[in-house]
Structure 1
Amino acid sequence: MALAAAALLPGCAALAPRPVAVEQRLAALPATGLAGLERPVTIRWNDHLIPWIEAETDRDLAFALGLVHGHLRGAQIALLRLVARGRLSEVAGPFATEVDHALRILDFGRAAPEIERRWPAETRAFVESFVAGLNHATLRAGRPPPEFALLGLRPEPYSTADILAIGRLAGTDVNWLLYFSLLGERGRPDFARLWRRTLEAGASATEPAREAEGGGSAALRALLGGLNRAGSNAVAVAARRSATGGALLASDPHLSLNLPNLWLAVGMRSPSFHAVGLMVPGLPILGLGRNPDLAWGGTNMRAAASDLFDVSRLPPAQITERRVTLRRRLWFSTERTVRLTLHGPIVTDAALVPARPGEAIALRWVGHEPTDEITALLRAARARDGAAFRAAFAGFGVSPQNMVWAARDGRIGRLMAATLPARTGFPDADPVLDAADPAATAPWARLLDARDLPYAEDPPEGVLASANERPEPLGGRAPPPLGLFFSDGDRLERLRALLAARERLSVADLMALQRDTLSPKAARLAAALRRRLEGLAEAAPVAAALDGWDGDYRADSRAALAFELLLGRLVPALLAENGRDGAAGRRGPETQWNFLTTFLLRDLDALPPERRAAVLRQAAAEAARELGRFRDWGDVHRQRVAHWLVNLPLIGGAFVQGDAPVGGSRETPMKTSHGLVQGRHVATFGSMARHVSDLSDPDANWVVLYGGQDGWLGSAAFADQVPLWREGRMIRLPLRPETVAAEFPRVTRLLPAAR
């Protein structure tokens, strides 16, 4: 304990950070003697520390972007690299040993050498210059971020391979969370039933990790679930349906709600690039944004970019093995084994991935193939029309995305950006395939990409919406089998209803759509439960609260509170009635929204009448007691302002800056995800960035982050956008030079090193 306390002493600046003004943060940016720069670069800043970069060459733009990323998000990028490289033990000590072993097996950097070998010259030059700028900010700045001392980190240079590993981490297959959860259920007598129900529900494991899991399992699930682009909404409106006369686009990604935000807002101009939008810290690409001719956003397809293979019967000669060393802070280093097959790494060698005795299961993932997302997104940012935008995604791999676009010519469209095995179907009995079965391995002999998948342009309705839903035909073509586990469709239903509500849609309409908290299926499920509570005296308080509820999870809704408290008691009881684990707080596939909307009423009505009444009576009585303790939904459903260091044991509470009531739920357009509710809780995953563009005006682009631009603890721009977020306000990101000059008044000049 004394050793741990001594290790924390250098990190006091992180535990009690001093206030730092925007001017101080700008003054700390290394701006002169930049050896990687060819010509001077101008960076204009607004009051929120959003940079607008003007460069005379593309390479200088890339260098400046890397410099800005490193300056604003240095600690965050360092953490992302530690995760991507399986090096968390270097800061967390032996507690992270098994997490690191699992991450080393997943090997996010595995495809990097071949990707780099195949890069077009322009991509290589851009990425190398970005890394040079990132390294200058990392190695040549003054003092490192406060987190470095707390975590025992030292600045170290980045490589292009590191950038690719971070990109692969961001492209994690969301299906892994459910796969790994189900592996622990295989072999149980009721697994066949669970698997059938999982397929019918289409459940997707993006909720928080189960509290019943050990710390390492929960940590791994939290990392994989919080850092990949698992959710999102995106809508496009054609010019003929727009109140402004120009096509409109709105997108809002769903990711971890811890700070710093997992996006960084920027503007940029160079000979090849003229755009504004959001970037993932540490990656040299715009994930969503706008250029003068096109705006774009995306949602996770939830497509299966992976397969599990039983490789237990493979001959030893077909398995390669290597030892990896895990360095552990304040403890001895240790070694672990990583085994690789033609069907991928053996993930069940990780202690955190469950398996039956004697079984070895490998994971084959598109992310281990040499797909090229950076080139695709660099080309997309320069696209001038829908055809060029679609062509840019040839070779894009992970994570599979539904890309939605709106163009200056008034048109809109949607495409599937993915690389996937050419499957003809999915297993109906077990998620694990037999590596010895040629039919199971054959789909990986041919990989499909965006050129092979359906797309849509200019639909008759004049609008498009995407929300991680089960794929539908596009452009008159049905897609091939893409996956098993998708969003429930609740958000899509609500988005389409809002888009159909007006003949002409405005920018204000799209901004309101992003903040909408109504769930149609919640309203229907609540009404059905209300009918079943009729005549049960114990249920009177809950039934009264549910009367007439429209499914709106407003923060001040008492009906939403009553509904969720009832589900929190009823679902575990029904699981127990069916011989499943009904322990309070259990979070797994069977407690997710897809399962509830598919099976809850069916399971309830399947009980004998006397037993059904008893279960309802008990659940409603317990929910009524809880209802008396709280005022409304926002009283229990909270959105926290907290640095990611909140996850540290013992001292994590020091990094919470407060919380506040928040509306929304699992599948509302403004998503604030949660599990079963049995009291006050924090939403840790959901809507965390918003973007809206109006193609009728180059300056009509707005963004806002849950948090702020600057990751420096104590910075005035660390959480300054939270009030904007809560109030529904946004920050304009213009494209016209004169508007940029007026609204981004602070100026930094980057100067090359003297030759």
Structure 2
Amino acid sequence: MAGSKGTRPGKALALALLALLPGCGALAPRPAGIDQRLATLPREGLGLAGPVTIRWNEHLVPWIEAGSDADLAYALGLVHGHLRGGQIALLRMVARGRLSEMAGPLARDYDHAIRILGFDRAAPEIERRWPAETRAFMTAFLAGLNKAALEGPRPPEFGLLGLRREAFTTTDLLAIGRLAGTDVNWFSYFSLLAERGKPGFAAAWRRTLEAGANLTPPSPREANLPGLLAGLSRAGSNAVAVAPTHSASGAAMLASDPHLGLSLPNLWLLVGMRSPSFHAVGMMVPGVPIIGLGRNPEVAWGGTNLRAASSDLFDVSHLPQEAFTESETTIRQRFWLGATRRVRMTPLGPVLTDARVVPGRPGETLALRWAGQEPADEITSLLRAARARSGAEFRASFDSFAVSPQNFLYADRAGTIGRLTAAILPARRGFPAAGPVLDGTDPASTGPWSHLLHAGDLPALENPPEGVLASANENPNLWAKEPPPLGYFFSDGDRVARLRALLLARPKLRPEDLAALQRDTLAPKAAVLAAGLLARFDALPGGAPDFLGPLRGWDGDYAAGSRAALVFELVLARLLPGLLPEGSNGRGPETGWNFVTTFLLRDLDALPEPRRAALLRQAAAEAAPLAARYRVWGDVHQLRAAHWLVNLPVLGRAFVLGEMPAGGSRETPMKTGHGLVTGPHEVSFGSMARYVSDLADLDSNWFTLFGGQDGWLGSAAFADQIPLWREGRSIRLPLRPETVAAEFPRVTVLRP
């Protein structure tokens, strides 16, 4: 018996390894050319009413022409499933709280938290309210997606993750859409919840509000709930619009570059389409039949995350027992038995602190009220926006759009440029001064949720006199006249100021100028901070150490070859911890760029002179060896191209395609997010797609993804756009049929 017990761990390991054997195709994928991938697209038994033509370019971008809207939707679903079936299946597992079916008991608490959040909770009511045209489009799209999912080739990663073929449902797709609409404020909430009740929290909260400091989005590779959600939510982005008076072509222009997790496959898919109601090109979220950024013959649009607070946390500890309803959810676990967990609901949302991964005070019960729990309808909004024939029609499309709150910029062929706020938010009068948790028994706190503001109630701007618009997640108070209270935390303002400066620096802008703007790596406030730090070092006896010399006259450019950017960040990382409250973990809002620009020099100057001098000397002494070890910013600031399977333990390194020096920083137009820099680090969040349109020409629409079109491991189109992304080149997605025929030479005809 003793011998038998001793072999059990070995048997368990052997069984685990045997379970992974079907995943060997993912570990060593076979190369697949463009024609090979097209040959495996399902062609038989298609649910079409008539023939559909799909033209493909060398990057496997499809351009779909259909005789009916329903056939277009079906073909779109088929293409999404063929190119990104594995990715959409993973998104479903996250959005429905089913990670344990792949990862076993290690993911159980995350699944419980996700099921409490309820990305799928509003789905039945959303579907019930759909207009007939949306229902028909979604039904056809879902049919095409399931044709590919159930009958197309099985994605290589399925074996490794223990996934099986499974039909998608409408609820799955709506949950994926809600997952992409995650409130970015949750990242700060979770950080701040852990600090509540500790000495100094009240002062820290006041400073947080003053700085407007949103927590740096955690890495998608961090093993926590914010890390899991960060790489999948639409958390950042830039967008600009140019009026005809500032355009070299004499027509309006638009450019947009979304900021998301930098993992492969990209969280966007490029598509062109034409049917009786639709004629457009743009970026689509895999598994959702909408164009998030793009252009039709009359209107171009892009957007950025508004970072509005679409959620409130409520202390419901004192609500009567009858205010709570309870249900059980069963979590299936790979390699293990299922687990049962409870999900409690209140009139103020689900009880978040029932999840072990959510911090809270002992005995305190917190609920989360989120606009994503409302039966809003982003799909109908964006389907209508894609058909808009003017800026006015585009603006009118968003009354039912809730999450994630967006700044949409648009430009039309008549020369109008505009900006609208697309969100559903509670009619707040302000935000709490004591912390992020509201009293669930106080009508003044709960009342705003009884009156919801929609897009028509929120700030908008059209045809500004300067002829340009820029958006970069900044506080709406910078541009809107008397905006209602929208949120706590926004980007610093450095990025939007730089975008505006670049737009106004030329009297006549070209598409090439907008493309260059998207790759700009200059942070003006970094130059101001560097000069301020240098002045304080110079004031020390003996002056500034020699290695700080590159900071003299530095303009704040974070080019990969910049020595000054490296020196600045190394000194900052050694200096800032000495200014943080005792016990700080260095991951809270106080390490964000807003905090640094608001408080760094002020806090230094508030110290007694001996303490300030000692802190400066210590920071220089610790940074100097690192500055001697590395030459330039790109030596430590590395961009890693990797499949999302890189997160797997042990096997993850097999899914790294390469690492490369990168320019940019936290708040440069070409955003490449990072924390405090103590040596080489990986950029995991940033500018991961680009788009530019000039409305003077139907064919002047340029797109690039960090990665590629195809999510199939081993495909020639899996990462073929990375060289384009690095070099500032793009793929043209034209609207004229003759140009499409010339530039998309591979033809697939789908027949009923």
| TM-score exceeds 0.5 | yes
Hey, what does 1:431 align to over in structure 2?
436
Inter-CA distance 536–568: structure 2 relative to 1 (3 Å threshold): farther
Hey, what does 2:361 align to over in structure 1?
356
- Counterparts of residues 89-488 of structure 1 (less than 5 Å): 89-141=100-152, 143-208=153-218, 218-472=223-477, 477-488=481-492
1:548 aligns with 2:553: yes
**Distance in 1 (alpha carbons) for counterparts of 2:747 and 2:97:** 39
**Distance in 2 (alpha carbons) for counterparts of 1:473 and 1:565:** 31
**Distance in 2 (alpha carbons) for counterparts of 1:31 and 1:472:** 53
Amino acid at match of 2:104: G
State the Cα distance separating 1:206 from its structure 2 match.
3.6
Matching residue within 572, 579, 584 for 2:582? 579
**Distance in 1 (alpha carbons) for counterparts of 2:546 and 2:658:** 31
Amino acid at match of 2:496: L
**Distance in 1 (alpha carbons) for counterparts of 2:111 and 2:648:** 16
Amino acid at match of 2:376: T
**Distance in 1 (alpha carbons) for counterparts of 2:460 and 2:200:** 40
Hey, what does 1:605 align to over in structure 2?
605
Amino acid at match of 1:26: L
CA offsets 1:635-677 (integer angstroms, 9 cap, x no match): 0001111000001111111100111001000000000000000
Aligned residues of 1:30 and 1:140 also touching (Cα < 8 A): yes
Hey, what does 2:749 align to over in structure 1?
749
Hey, what does 1:514 align to over in structure 2?
518
Q: Where in structure 2 are there 5+ consecutive unaligned residues?
A: 1-12
Aligned residues of 1:295 and 1:693 also touching (Cα < 8 A): yes
Q: Which moved more, 1:199-208 or 1:276-285?
A: 199-208
State the Cα distance separating 1:225 from its structure 2 match.
1.2
Aligned residues of 2:423 and 2:454 also touching (Cα < 8 A): yes
Aligned residues of 1:131 and 1:159 also touching (Cα < 8 A): yes
State the Cα distance separating 1:32 from its structure 2 match.
2.6
Aligned residues of 1:453 and 1:479 also touching (Cα < 8 A): yes
**Distance in 2 (alpha carbons) for counterparts of 1:574 and 1:453:** 39
Aligned residues of 2:186 and 2:226 also touching (Cα < 8 A): no
**Distance in 2 (alpha carbons) for counterparts of 1:678 and 1:510:** 33
Please give the secondary structure, in 2, of the residue aligned with 1:81. Answer: helix
Amino acid at match of 1:93: G
Please give the secondary structure, in 2, of the residue aligned with 1:337. Answer: strand
State the Cα distance separating 1:692 from its structure 2 match.
0.2
**Distance in 2 (alpha carbons) for counterparts of 1:207 and 1:523:** 24
State the Cα distance separating 1:537 from its structure 2 match.
5.4
CA offsets 1:241-294 (integer angstroms, 9 cap, x no match): 100111100000000000000000000000000000000000000000000000
Aligned residues of 1:541 and 1:624 also touching (Cα < 8 A): no
CA offsets 1:349-383 (integer angstroms, 9 cap, x no match): 11111000000000000000000000000000000
Amino acid at match of 2:91: L
Aligned residues of 2:219 and 2:685 also touching (Cα < 8 A): no
Inter-CA distance 536–267: structure 2 relative to 1 (3 Å threshold): farther
Please give the secondary structure, in 2, of the residue aligned with 1:3. Answer: helix
State the Cα distance separating 1:588 from its structure 2 match.
1.7
Hey, what does 2:680 align to over in structure 1?
680
**Distance in 1 (alpha carbons) for counterparts of 2:122 and 2:360:** 26
Q: Which moved more, 1:663-672 or 1:406-415?
A: 406-415
Identity within the alignment, %: 70
Aligned residues of 1:705 and 1:722 also touching (Cα < 8 A): yes
Hey, what does 2:505 align to over in structure 1?
501
CA offsets 1:397-423 (integer angstroms, 9 cap, x no match): 100000000111111011001110011
**Distance in 2 (alpha carbons) for counterparts of 1:181 and 1:208:** 11
Hey, what does 1:617 align to over in structure 2?
617
CA offsets 1:307-351 (integer angstroms, 9 cap, x no match): 000000111111011111111111111111111100000111111
Amino acid at match of 1:499: L
CA offsets 1:60-103 (integer angstroms, 9 cap, x no match): 00000000000000110000000000000000111111111110
Hey, what does 1:642 align to over in structure 2?
642
**Distance in 2 (alpha carbons) for counterparts of 1:537 and 1:373:** 61
Normalization by structure 1: what TM-score? 0.97
Q: Which moved more, 1:446-455 or 1:80-89?
A: 446-455
Hey, what does 1:27 align to over in structure 2?
39
1:525 aligns with 2:536: no
**Distance in 2 (alpha carbons) for counterparts of 1:176 and 1:356:** 17
Hey, what does 1:653 align to over in structure 2?
653
CA offsets 1:10-51 (integer angstroms, 9 cap, x no match): 1011011111101000000002320x2111100000000000
Please give the secondary structure, in 2, of the residue aligned with 1:464. Answer: strand
State the Cα distance separating 1:536 from its structure 2 match.
5.8
- Counterparts of residues 729-744 of structure 1 (less than 5 Å): 729-744=729-744
Amino acid at match of 1:742: A
Amino acid at match of 2:92: R
State the Cα distance separating 1:587 from its structure 2 match.
1.7
CA offsets 1:98-121 (integer angstroms, 9 cap, x no match): 111110100100000111110000
Matching residue within 1, 4, 8 for 2:20? 8
Hey, what does 1:62 align to over in structure 2?
73
| Structural RMSD (CA) | 1.2
State the Cα distance separating 1:226 from its structure 2 match.
1.1
Hey, what does 2:719 align to over in structure 1?
719
Please give the secondary structure, in 2, of the residue aligned with 1:227. Answer: coil
State the Cα distance separating 1:615 from its structure 2 match.
0.6
Aligned residues of 1:692 and 1:701 also touching (Cα < 8 A): yes
**Distance in 2 (alpha carbons) for counterparts of 1:465 and 1:722:** 26
1:47 aligns with 2:69: no
**Distance in 2 (alpha carbons) for counterparts of 1:14 and 1:161:** 28
Hey, what does 2:99 align to over in structure 1?
88
**Distance in 2 (alpha carbons) for counterparts of 1:40 and 1:104:** 41
Amino acid at match of 2:137: F
CA offsets 1:123-172 (integer angstroms, 9 cap, x no match): 0000111000000000011x300000110100100111111100000001
State the Cα distance separating 1:3 from its structure 2 match.
2.4
Normalization by structure 2: what TM-score? 0.97
Aligned residues of 2:116 and 2:343 also touching (Cα < 8 A): yes
Amino acid at match of 2:352: V
Inter-CA distance 624–541: structure 2 relative to 1 (3 Å threshold): farther
Aligned length: 739
CA offsets 1:483-538 (integer angstroms, 9 cap, x no match): 11000001001001001101111111100000000001111011100111114659
Hey, what does 2:567 align to over in structure 1?
562
Aligned residues of 1:538 and 1:620 also touching (Cα < 8 A): no
Q: Which moved more, 1:666-675 or 1:331-340?
A: 331-340
